[in-house]
Structure 1
Amino acid sequence: MTDINADAWVSSNHRPMGFPEFVIVIASIMALNPLAMDMMLPALPNIASAFHIAAANRPQAVLSTFLLGFGVGQFVMGPLSDRFGRRPVLLGGMILYVIASVLAIAAPSFETILLARALQGLGTSATRVIATAIVRDCYAGRRMASVMSLAMMVFIAVPVIAPSFGQAVMLLTQWRGIFIVLMLYGVLALIWSALRMPETLPMSERKSLAIPDVLGAFRQTVTNRQTLGYALAAGGVQGSLFAFVFSSQQVFTEIYKLGHYFPVAFAGVAIGVAVAGFLNARFVGRLGMRVISHGALVGFVAVAGIMLFAARMQMLPLPLFLALAALMMFAFGLMFANFTALAMEPQGHIAGTASSLYGSITTLLGIGIGTTIGQDYDGTLLPFATGFFLCTLAALAVVLVVEKGRLFTPHRMVS
């Protein structure tokens, strides 16, 4: 299978659901994760105040704990879905998400909030892994990348509006109201998926949960040069995204004094990712995953270098920061769906386990990087800009190794 013509329709298992509904359902269940993540941004100061949290950077744990549950959960969701099928694991994860949301609504302490957030993350790990596996069950190559990009366009639009939506909820009620909204969305997504999402993994293709078999599937995943390399690269660039999310409330309210208007600035930056997803879906079939993602990665490094230089020179006013951050998010949007498709392309026979391990690697690596950068926040943009530049430079180095120096060139899959 080549990057040039690997656009095959692998299965029609998603019928009787039509193609548009298939994309929307995939996007809606994937959106559980960013909605639960980014709606919380405006609430962090209020949660800190409610539970008397004095340490300035500690409220970031509301975000990082959620992502930790998300990252760890992905280790088991893939093998479970390869054994029992996609539907039961998907629906079980969504039920857990709803239960965790109820726990958060009634949480009497900050520690209980963190427990609920970890469980929410664990629940959404199923939605992310299963959504990716279902797409891989049905498509391959550029067609898979196109489907992922269309889903990502909806999925990534969520961070654009989620902080503003969270701010609006808090104007009408309080921070616990955000968890009520998350619970209601989870219930609706659960019902839709239960009624409309068919099983896409035939019984004949189910895998054993025996330890040697699971370890063998993990070994096949991590020993594939293309899969592991693009997982590490995606983890590096995702670390910069997590750092932006973790620090954004402090950056926009403390450095740029935007107050309650910070969700507007956040949306202005995040919209670049949504635009990138739309453009990628339109052009990936013509240009290929490598051409688009490699070009975006090189561009990200260049823009991050400009931001680092401006931060060191203390010449980073709000308009310039917004422009550079939006360009980096635009590049991220062009990279991530294609990196995912490139990593998953050789793993059709173990799509659930491969998606699981890929998601864990990228998420946990991203959390480690993002948390390190976020906790280094010192009231300036220097740690933020330095982290962005180093993350993407490392990702570029990894891609160069994986592709043996052949950037921008469609070719047979590297193994």
Structure 2
Amino acid sequence: MNSQSKPVSNFEFICLMALLMSLLALAIDSVLPALSQLGSDLQVAEGNDIQLVLSSIFFGMAFGLIFYGPISDSFGRKKTIYLGVGVFILGDLISLFAVDFNMMIIGRVIQGFGAAACRVVSLAMIRDKFEGPEMGRVMSLIVMFFIIVPAIAPSIGQGILWVGDWRAIFAFVFVVSLLSIVWLHFRQEETLIVEKRLPFTITVIVHGIKETLSNKTSRNYMLASGFIFGSFIGYLSSSQQLLQVHYQLGEQFALYFGVLALAVGLSSFANSKLVMRYKMVNLCLVSLTGLLAFSTMFLVYCLVITGEPALLVLMMYLSATFFCFGILFGNLNALAVQPLGHIAGVATSVISSIQTLISVFIGGYIGYLYNGSVMPLTIGFLICALLSIILVLMAKQNSKLSAA
């Protein structure tokens, strides 16, 4: 069937966008159970250095995000995704055939650069079709479907390790990437009509960047989302060491990781309903307050008890914080892009690029502070939540002043 002959349903559109956006999560989370094996094969000397296999892909994505938005505004959304996934596949193949750790990191950076197209152009396609509360609802549904991937990806990776080694995981990611492009090509129509495309010039791009950064409301939401996503990257970077090694979960790590990911999916589903009744900014403030409160209570608990908290208590704390994350991820991004719909591609690129750069450095720092305890992660959650509350309140005030 030709992609232009019959428009796809909203449900299929949501599933396709979730798959494209989840390629990054698949490339990260499916490798988690194999990090010890990968580090041993590639002779990684320092234990915390293995976290670079995860954080380097975000570093590459941060630079790719600024690149693909303007291209999609000029040449269309689908062609830009074709380009990005092609780069993603190249990076995956480099990592697949890596003979040392440096080659692995180069491949992961290239993977991240390519995956940026899926992130930024998918958001622009969503903005092409929806706006306001409906956009927030669709984003929440996409996050809900998207979260299935990180929930099951570690189990997939663990299953692959039963019959192969870590290289087979990269081969699996290669196959899924190809299938996503085939689906996009044959089933999804172009969402940016020719009449609305912008000329690909430096002037247009610079103007879009200036307009995006000069919008105080978007800027504050962008910074807040960077802090929150940064704390989440801190968890991703240290989760294997904390849960699989420190708490000695072994092969059960994939199960516990999946349970926590489902907490994000559950809250995203709840948010898809709540956002139609309550303002996105108020939902963000409630969630940030919850994240701050949970982290403060857990930190006090850790300081009072002798030794490390029980695994059950840790899982209860992480589940509560991840429920907050599920509401924040979709809403903060939608709030940041909302005032800039007329330059959605460039705006999404700038917002996502800066957000990711912030989150890479914050998440990498939190991960490198890992010392065999949950304290660095808990303190990281607490500080990021506090800073984000201040930024969201400032953005809310800016919105009122602009409307006045």
What range describes the TM-score normalised by the shorter chain of this pair? over 0.9
State the SS of the aligned residue for 1:286.
Answer: coil
Residue by residue over 1:381-404, the C-alpha shift from the partner in whole angstroms, topping out at 9 and shown as x without a partner, is: 211111111111111111112212
Q: Shift of the alpha carbon at 1:413? A: 6.8
Find the partner of 2:20 among 17, 29, 40.
Answer: 29
341-350 vs 203-212, which moves further:
203-212
Tell me the equivalent position of 2:363. Answer: 370
Instruction: Provide the residue aligned with 1:113 in structure 2.
Output: 104
Say whether the 8 Å CA contact 1:226–1:414 is kept in structure 2: no
Q: Which amino acid aligns with 1:150?
A: L
Distance 1:128 1:14, change over 3 A: farther
Residue 6 of structure 1 is matched in structure 2 by: none
- Which residue in the other structure is 1:10 paired with? none
AA partner of residue 328 (structure 1): T
Deviations 1:61-96 (A, max 9, x none): 100111111111001111111111111111111122
Q: Which amino acid aligns with 2:328?
A: M
Give the whole-Å Cα distance in 2 for the aligned partners of 1:239 and 1:37: 15
Would you say the 8 A contact 1:14–1:138 is kept in 2? no
The answer to whether 1:387 aligns with 2:380 is: yes
* Match 1:172 to one of 138, 163, 166: 163
Match of 2:264 among 266, 273, 278: 273
Larger CA deviation: 296-305 vs 279-288: 279-288
Post-superposition offset of 1:310: 2.2
Letter in 2 for 1:372: Y
Q: Runs ≥4 in structure 1, deviation > 6 angstroms?
A: 411-415
- Name the residue aligned to 2:255: 264
Which of 219, 222, 228 aligns to 1:228? It is: 219
Task: Give the CA deviation at 1:29.
Answer: 0.7
1:59 aligns with 2:50: yes
CA deviation map 1:175-215 (0-9, x unaligned) = 00100110000010011111122211122221233222211
Q: 1:346-357 maps to which residues of 2 (within 5 A)?
A: 346-357=339-350
Q: Is the 8 A contact 1:402 1:414 kept in 2?
A: no
Instruction: Measure the CA separation in 1 of the matches of 2:214 and 2:6.
Output: 34
Structure-2 residue corresponding to 1:205: 196
Separation of aligned partners in 2, 1:44 and 1:248: 11
Q: CA deviation at 1:51?
A: 1.2
What is the percent sequence identity of the aligned residues?
33
- What secondary structure does 2:45 align onto? coil
Residue deviations 1:335-383 (CA, integer Å, cap 9, x gap): 1101111111111110001111111122111111000010011112211
Report the structure, 1 or 2, having the larger helix content: 2
Match of 1:76 among 51, 67, 79: 67
Shift of 1:254: 3.2
Give the letter for the 1:384 counterpart.
L
| CA contact 2:224–2:387 (8 Å) conserved in 1 | yes
> How do 1:34-45 residues align onto structure 2 when only pairs under 5 Å count?
34-45=25-36
Helix, strand or coil at the partner of 1:287: coil
Instruction: Verify: 1:189 aligned to 2:205, yes or no.
Output: no
Residue 126 of structure 1 and its aligned partner are, at CA, apart by 0.1
- Report what 1:245 is aligned to: 236
Could you say which residue in structure 2 is the equivalent of 1:331? 324
Structure 2 CA distance for partners of 1:89 and 1:254, relative to 1, 3 Å: same
Contact 1:48 1:59 in 2 (8 A): yes
Q: Which moved more, 1:194-203 or 1:86-95?
A: 194-203
Q: Deviations over 1:214-272 (max 9, x none)?
A: 11101111111221111100011111110111000111133312122111111122211
How far apart, in 1, do the equivalents of 2:398 and 2:293 lie?
A: 18
Give the alignment partner of residue 123 of structure 2, picking from 132, 141, 147.
132
Are positions 1:343 and 2:336 aligned together?
A: yes
1:243 and 1:371 in contact (8 A); partners too: yes
Q: From 77, 82, 87, give the equivalent of 2:78.
A: 87
TM-score, normalised to structure 2's length?
0.95
| CA distance in structure 2 between the partners assigned to 1:331 and 1:232 by the alignment | 17
Of 102-111 and 361-370, deviating more is 102-111
| Counterparts in 2 of 1:15 and 1:316: CA distance versus 1, 3 Å | farther
Q: Which amino acid aligns with 2:389?
A: L
- Deviations 1:256-302 (CA, angstroms, capped at 9, x unpaired): 12122111111122211000111111221122312222211111111
Cα RMSD of the aligned pairs, angstroms, is: 1.8
Given that 2:216 and 2:398 are in contact with CA atoms closer than 8 Å, whether structure 1 keeps it comes out as no
Report the TM-score, using the length of structure 1 for normalisation.
0.93
CA distance in 1 between counterparts of 2:285 and 2:322 reads: 15
Post-superposition shift, 1:307? 2.1
Deviation at 1:14, TM superposition (A): 11
CA distance in 2, matches of 1:226, 1:270: 30
Higher mean C-alpha displacement, 229-238 vs 252-261:
252-261
Q: Distance in 1 between matches of 2:5 and 2:190?
A: 8
Q: Is the contact between residue 237 and residue 391 of structure 1 (CA under 8 Å) also seen in structure 2?
A: yes
Stretch deviating more after TM superposition (375-384 or 312-321): 312-321
Distance (whole Å) between structure 1 residues aligned to residue 300 and residue 289 of structure 2: 17
Specify every segment of 5 or more residues in structure 2 that has no aligned partner in the other structure, as ranges.
Answer: none
* Mapped contact 1:74–1:357 kept (Cα < 8 A): yes
| Aligned-pair CA distance for 1:309 | 1.6
Distance 1:189 1:313 in 2: 49
Give 1:316 shift.
2.0
**2:313 paired with 1:320:** yes
